[in-house]
Structure 1
């Protein structure tokens, strides 16, 4: 059973299209036209075309593409802001808001034509955003699942709280966790495919695989294919098996 996955996109529409092209090339070589493509969240923020990314994914899914998406923390922040100008995500450090340049909501707003969001009053920005943003976009983000399970694999944006049953995990952890998950070397019962924390190259840690290679910071966007718990990185030359580090 094959499953494709694409790391954190962060508004990089051209890179997303190129990742989809690599996946289609792999389908032609290996013959599984029905294998789903799971996008690992953080569709928006930092990159130049969050609006285009959402249009591309929503229209593709509507047209019958086997694409699935799990919710990222940036996706939740965008949807939260669209619902409430004063929304502040629980995972943000004190004093930060979604439109702060370090967070990246300013770039998302700019992709809809809402400019100069770092200094203006949030309520003014919110009013402009309500007029500019297709309401289908935040609704799509709001309703995304926090995780998907398939064939011995768990696809989740950030990770899990180790030692906690999946059904008891908090959304905050699934979208935001880092250190407590990263340092835990236990078998989690499934190989966890995740993003959220950029790494220089896709990395297999034995019990988890991080495929966020920093597209939000101008670095490559990674696509992989999983056959059972064997993971291959998709390159322009084809598959390259990703083996546990060390």
Structure 2
């Protein structure tokens, strides 16, 4: 059995399409397998709307795709529900429309311009009119955890020492420490994104797929067999050897 996974997309439709082309080429050689997207499909990139359309269309066509919820996906849906509702995990002085977070880029893909420079109430009203209800429902329904094979797929990570069934959604979509520094086994291999690094990296107990597409880096697609993983490239598979955190 092999499973494919794709890191944080952040509104980059062209990169997502290219990642799926690599997966399709690998499937042609090795057979089909499910594809897990580890969340953060929106924000910072130019076409969050197109990314959601692409993912929804693939699932509607019957493709074996799983899309997890990331913290940016949750911030988007929370803003649409109530733009003044605090987001657990986000520093109090920030909001989804802060330039660092990329909410304005997402709304721009729906035709709502200059969202970070206008009154929040007006932007919220325009966003409610512009964002299809199907997109809102799709993002809100994304799971925080997916188990398959020897792996647990999440967006950000897990809280060490807590059973998978007892993890909170806020930890699943936001956590960094103490997860990133934990060197012991979590049981399953934790496959995640959220913390941007230069390249997809296997740490033995976890596999980080966020190679910084939000910041001009590549969007990583990998194939996982058991606890082993390989990066998919135009030249084929490149094994990811385990390193220490």
What TM-score, normalized to structure 1? 0.97
Aligned counterparts of 1:88 and 1:64: Cα–Cα separation in 2? 36
* Cross-structure match for 1:96: 94
Aligned counterparts of 1:229 and 1:200: Cα–Cα separation in 2? 21
Q: CA deviation at 1:65?
A: 1.1
Q: Deviations over 1:104-146 (max 9, x none)?
A: 1010000001011112121110100011111111111111110
Q: Which runs of 4+ in 1 moved over 6 A?
A: none
CA RMSD across the alignment: 0.8
Write the mapping of 1:43-62 to structure 2, written as runs, cut at 5 A. Answer: 43-62=41-60
Q: Deviations over 1:211-239 (max 9, x none)?
A: 10011111100000001111010001000
* Cross-structure match for 1:154: 152
* Cross-structure match for 1:2: 2
1:180 maps onto 2:178 in alignment: yes
1:171 maps onto 2:169 in alignment: yes
Q: CA deviation at 1:85?
A: 2.3
Q: Deviations over 1:159-193 (max 9, x none)?
A: 00000011111111110000210111111000111
Q: Deviations over 1:71-130 (max 9, x none)?
A: 100000001111112133111112111011101101000000101111212111010001
* Cross-structure match for 2:225: 227
Q: Deviations over 1:23-46 (max 9, x none)?
A: 00000111x22x110001000000
What TM-score, normalized to structure 2? 0.98
SS in 2 for 1:113: coil
1:119 maps onto 2:121 in alignment: no
Gap runs ≥5 in structure 1: none
CA contact (8 A) 1:88 1:98 kept: no
SS in 1 for 2:178: helix
SS in 2 for 1:159: coil
Aligned counterparts of 1:97 and 1:158: Cα–Cα separation in 2? 19
* Cross-structure match for 2:213: 215
1:239 maps onto 2:210 in alignment: no
Aligned counterparts of 1:99 and 1:36: Cα–Cα separation in 2? 34
Aligned residues: 244
* Cross-structure match for 2:187: 189
